[in-house]
Structure 1
Amino acid sequence: MSSELYQAIEYLSEEKGIDREVLLEALDVALVSAYKKNFNSRTNVRVELNEAEGMKVFARLEVVDEVEDDQLEISLDDAKEIDPSYETGEVVEKEVTPRDFGRIAAQAAKQVVTQRVREAERGVIYDDFIDRVEDIMTGKVQRMDQRFLYVHLGKIEGKLPVNEVMPNESYQIHDRIKVYVTRVEKTSKGPQVFVSRTHPGLLKRLFEMEVPEIYEGIVEIRSVAREAGDRSKISVYAEDPEIDPVGACVGQRGQRVQTIVDELRGEKIDIVQWSEDPVVYISNALSPSQVIEVLVDEEDNATTVIVPDHQLSLAIGKRGQNARLAAKLTGWKIDIKSESEAREDGLLDGEEDNDLLNLE
């Protein structure tokens, strides 16, 4: 019995990745519980598990002058018969192992140990995945219902809410997809891992995977704005003036960014250079439109951007998307006006304002 238990513990420890001491502690609790339940005992007991000698149960009895409860106490005279050195108040351990305890213990311990093993497994999974929050993982679509797509991530299924699936994509069972881990929760049913395909963090992690300069810290992602499945903007910066951060992200013949576009099922991506100068940064963020002037109101964190008349719709974008993404990217409120409207409002005067803003 004891040898088999030890073999089972070693197997579970190696196979499930659970600490051996956790399993031994669970087994100890199970055996004490089995003894008390099956032998009607209130005694404070300790179970000793030895691979060579098997299991032994020891009652822990307090030495007293007058015994009132023989399941919890032992008289001083009886204690001295065991060892003359015992004094009142000390604890005597007396072996009380029942003859058929091995069979009963095995039955009772199985359920308790199984439960503790399950809890420990859940703890291991939680610890593994809590470190993956805000990270990207590849999984396989397992099943779906009205609320979630369930993505197999190895030890657990990730829950992908249907409202965080990009509107331009659909999946079949067994499709492999990349997902962004948004949060991990402990529940009574075990850890729950929630993932997303629409989170801006997914775009950021994809660039880190695809662009070595970002991974190595040579190029830094400063901000991401995303309307998943349709269009995104990302601003990048390199401290070294010799490095072209936008070019590094685009890659030779656009290969790097195209790989990310393909992963996101054709989502358009604007890569712009970050600048601490809001005039330059906002002008870059409104790409691909051209900009004549940016008027900055720092107190209200707002800007008025003037563009050529023929560029107005491009600057605003379809349903205001380009302007909206630029505002999210930069953190500035952006009001876009055409050149003619700006002149009517007195925001531009003189022929010198006809030139486009020089961002070099």
Structure 2
Amino acid sequence: MNAEFIDALVEIEKEKGISKDIIFDALESALISSYKKNFGSSQNVEVTIDRNTGEVKVFAKKTVVEELENETLEISLEDAKAINEKYQIGDVVKIEVTPRNFGRIAAQTAKQVVIQRIKDAERDVIYEEFINRENEIITGMVQRISKNNVYIDLGRTEGVLLPTEQIEGEVYNQGDRLKLYILEVKKTTKGPQIILSRSHPGLVKRLFELEVPEIHEGIVEIYAISREAGSRTKIAVYSKDPNVDPVGACVGFKGSRVKAIVEELNGEKIDIIVWSKNIEEFIANSLSPSKVLKVEINEREKSALIVVPDYQLSLAIGKEGQNARLAAKLTNWKIDIKSESQYNEETRS
């Protein structure tokens, strides 16, 4: 290796942010392995690289002993003193053993080490970038599909949309552009693994933040979201400004804002509900689009009895109980729904 190699390391340090010393340390370790592989593994050796010239030297490390038993690892006191009078029993003597053609091996090893270090550094940069973006939204393109996992091109790296994070019934084709939620970023031996989601409630939250300026500005806030991905979502919002209607802000002019979100989610229904400090009012709102006549709450059990008009019972419960289930998840209260006639009959008896 020569001065050109040192210059190349200086460039790598500037461009990739990898310290020269880190590469030198890794290279010295790798050259010890190369030496042992090519010239005898039983020796205890040390490799040094001159940081200015790039010159590589190999030294055998031998312990000074009174009686020689292993020539590879030991040196007699007499021989050690012939090198330097100061050596004593137990000292370690370094003897240069650099092979003639070791420069070629060093150059090949250096190339491999530098390539690997650049890969590692780039992986670290990608990891740091994405670990800070967990729980954010990102746009990516479907790259390939393998064993029901959908791999998404995110530019400098790829993410994976696992079957558990896909929207049921949603079809993914190569080249499709999607908005996705960054669920988790893991550090693995193969580099960062970015787990994406289309089914997480956080995706809906981030889509509303993108589409509704009042949410982005903090005037309107999202209190809670309950979601059955691909089918229906309920989102509870409130306004910090009495002059701003939170539902109107989320719906947008002629429904433009919510329509954009529904389109991104391939037709998933979205109920936008006003959150209220008054729990009876909040529970009544959560059963939208059904009309609620009465709410009786049990604070101790955190349960509520809801009375709805007879003709709206099935609407309040929803298909396969979905509306009631999402309302319970949104409010964090147990919900029991009765029709007006059922309620009147029970109170009479």
Q: Does the CA-based 8 Å contact 1:31-1:47 persist in structure 2?
A: no
For residue 172 of structure 1, what is the aligned residue in structure 2?
173
For residue 345 of structure 2, what is the aligned residue in structure 1?
344
Shift, 1:138, TM fit: 0.9
Q: Does the CA-based 8 Å contact 1:35-1:105 persist in structure 2?
A: no
Q: Does the CA-based 8 Å contact 1:56-1:95 persist in structure 2?
A: yes
- Paired with 1:19 and 1:281, the residues of 2 have a C-alpha distance of 58
Shift, 1:200, TM fit: 0.9
For residue 33 of structure 2, what is the aligned residue in structure 1?
33
- Paired with 1:19 and 1:330, the residues of 2 have a C-alpha distance of 53
Give 1:38-53 correspondences, 5 Å limit.
38-40=38-40, 42-52=43-53
- Paired with 1:88 and 1:148, the residues of 2 have a C-alpha distance of 64
For residue 106 of structure 1, what is the aligned residue in structure 2?
107
Q: Does the CA-based 8 Å contact 2:23-2:113 persist in structure 1?
A: no
Task: Give the 3 Å change call, closer, same or farther, for CA 277–129 of structure 1 in structure 2.
Answer: same
For residue 308 of structure 2, what is the aligned residue in structure 1?
307
Q: Does the CA-based 8 Å contact 1:309-1:339 persist in structure 2?
A: yes
Q: Does the CA-based 8 Å contact 1:18-1:124 persist in structure 2?
A: no
- Paired with 2:348 and 2:132, the residues of 1 have a C-alpha distance of 52
TM-score normalised per structure 1: 0.83
- Paired with 1:215 and 1:282, the residues of 2 have a C-alpha distance of 26
SS in structure 2 opposite 1:142?
strand
For residue 332 of structure 2, what is the aligned residue in structure 1?
331
Report the number of matched residues: 348
Q: Does the CA-based 8 Å contact 2:3-2:54 persist in structure 1?
A: no
Query: Gapped runs of 5+ residues in structure 2?
Result: none
Task: Give the 3 Å change call, closer, same or farther, for CA 129–21 of structure 1 in structure 2.
Answer: farther
Write out the 4+ residue segments of structure 1 that deviate beyond 6 Å after TM superposition: none
Shift, 1:265, TM fit: 2.1
For residue 129 of structure 1, what is the aligned residue in structure 2?
130
For residue 150 of structure 1, what is the aligned residue in structure 2?
151
Shift, 1:78, TM fit: 5.0
Q: Does the CA-based 8 Å contact 2:302-2:333 persist in structure 1?
A: yes
Shift, 1:98, TM fit: 2.3
Q: Does the CA-based 8 Å contact 1:2-1:55 persist in structure 2?
A: no
Task: Give the 3 Å change call, closer, same or farther, for CA 115–52 of structure 1 in structure 2.
Answer: closer
Q: Does the CA-based 8 Å contact 1:46-1:60 persist in structure 2?
A: no
Which deviates more from structure 2 when the two are superposed, residues 78-87 or residues 89-98?
78-87
> Alpha-carbon deviations, 1:268-305, whole Å to 9, x = none?
21121222322111111111222111111223221111
- Paired with 2:69 and 2:154, the residues of 1 have a C-alpha distance of 59
Q: Does the CA-based 8 Å contact 2:9-2:20 persist in structure 1?
A: yes
- Paired with 1:173 and 1:228, the residues of 2 have a C-alpha distance of 22
SS in structure 2 opposite 1:178?
strand
Give 1:1-360 correspondences, 5 Å limit.
1-10=1-10, 18-40=18-40, 42-52=43-53, 54-76=55-77, 79=80, 85-111=86-112, 114-115=115-116, 117-162=118-163, 164-167=165-168, 169-346=170-347
Q: Does the CA-based 8 Å contact 1:47-1:57 persist in structure 2?
A: yes
> Alpha-carbon deviations, 1:176-214, whole Å to 9, x = none?
111112233444544332212111111111122233443
Shift, 1:48, TM fit: 1.9
Q: Does the CA-based 8 Å contact 1:48-1:57 persist in structure 2?
A: no
